[in-house]
């Protein structure tokens, strides 16, 4: 982990997951001081529940006290699994997928935004999904949650357009992670999005070159 007083600080949730394992080193290679968080993984720099507002607020205050700033928030936390039809799904299953995919983004963004607004700069990068742009049967809570992420991205971008902050979402098709390969073993993995390419897109959105891009959806589909 890079920890230099003059380095930009990137807070990355879901840092030890299949996508996080590519995003964290990409930001470190770009010179960021990375704070990776995960709920329970022993290798995470910080461990807390990103759907818990009190825990998120405490973590953000601690990072600012330690590092002095948070320049970038990358909301990677999310999950997908096969979902029953809406007519059959339980409240518990719906709430679980909705919370991890949408509430995590809301809670973390709400914790970080006041600091970014006070500083007059910041970048928030969210992860959408193609199912969030057009709902897909058997993906009810996931589709609805990701649609919410895309709408929230646009709302936050509009609310901060005069604050020196940008808020964008990358929208992948299927990311080539071990979890997705295990869940869809018969798919053509060559058509999926390599995590390193998605990570490079996020590093670009965090940089000065992307300062005029906000409220956008960056599609990263490969051939899937």
Enzyme catalytic residues = 142
Provide the sign of the torsion angle of the four alpha carbons 122, 128, 134, 135, taken in this order: negative
**CA triplet 206, 177, 34: central angle to 5 degrees?**
35
Q: Which residue has the tokens 């461990």?
A: 47
Alpha helices in the chain (DSSP H): 20-29, 53-67, 91-98, 104-119, 130-133, 140-159, 178-183, 195-206
Distance (Å, whole) CA 91 – CA 94: 5
Joined together, the tokens standing for residue 201 give: 């897109």
Q: Is 40 exposed, middle or buried (0-12, 13-18, 19+ CB in 10 A)?
A: exposed
Distance (Å, whole) CA 221 – CA 224: 6
């Amino acid at each position: 982990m890079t920890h230099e007083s003059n380095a930009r600080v990137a807070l990355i949730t879901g840092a030890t997951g299949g996508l996080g394992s590519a995003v964290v080193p990409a930001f470190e290679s770009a010179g960021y001081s990375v704070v990776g968080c995960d709920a329970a993984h022993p290798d995470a720099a910080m461990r807390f529940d990103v759907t818990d507002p009190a825990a998120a607020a405490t973590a953000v205050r601690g990072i600012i006290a330690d590092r002095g700033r948070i320049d970038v928030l990358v909301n990677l936390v999310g999950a997908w699994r096969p979902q029953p039809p809406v007519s059959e799904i339980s409240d518990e299953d719906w709430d679980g997928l909705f919370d991890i995919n949408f509430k995590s983004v809301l809670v973390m963004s709400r914790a970080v935004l006041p600091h970014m607004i006070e500083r007059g700069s910041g970048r928030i990068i969210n992860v959408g999904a193609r199912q969030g742009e057009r709902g897909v049967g058997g993906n009810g809570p996931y589709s609805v949650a990701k649609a919410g992420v895309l709408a929230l991205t646009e709302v936050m971008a509009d609310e901060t357009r005069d604050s020196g902050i940008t808020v964008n979402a990358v929208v992948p098709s299927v990311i080539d992670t071990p979890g997705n390969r295990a869940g869809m073993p018969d798919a053509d993995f060559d058509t999926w999005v390599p995590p390193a390419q998605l990570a490079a897109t996020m590093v670009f959105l965090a940089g000065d070159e992307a300062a005029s891009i906000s409220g956008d959806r960056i599609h990263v589909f490969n051939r899937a």
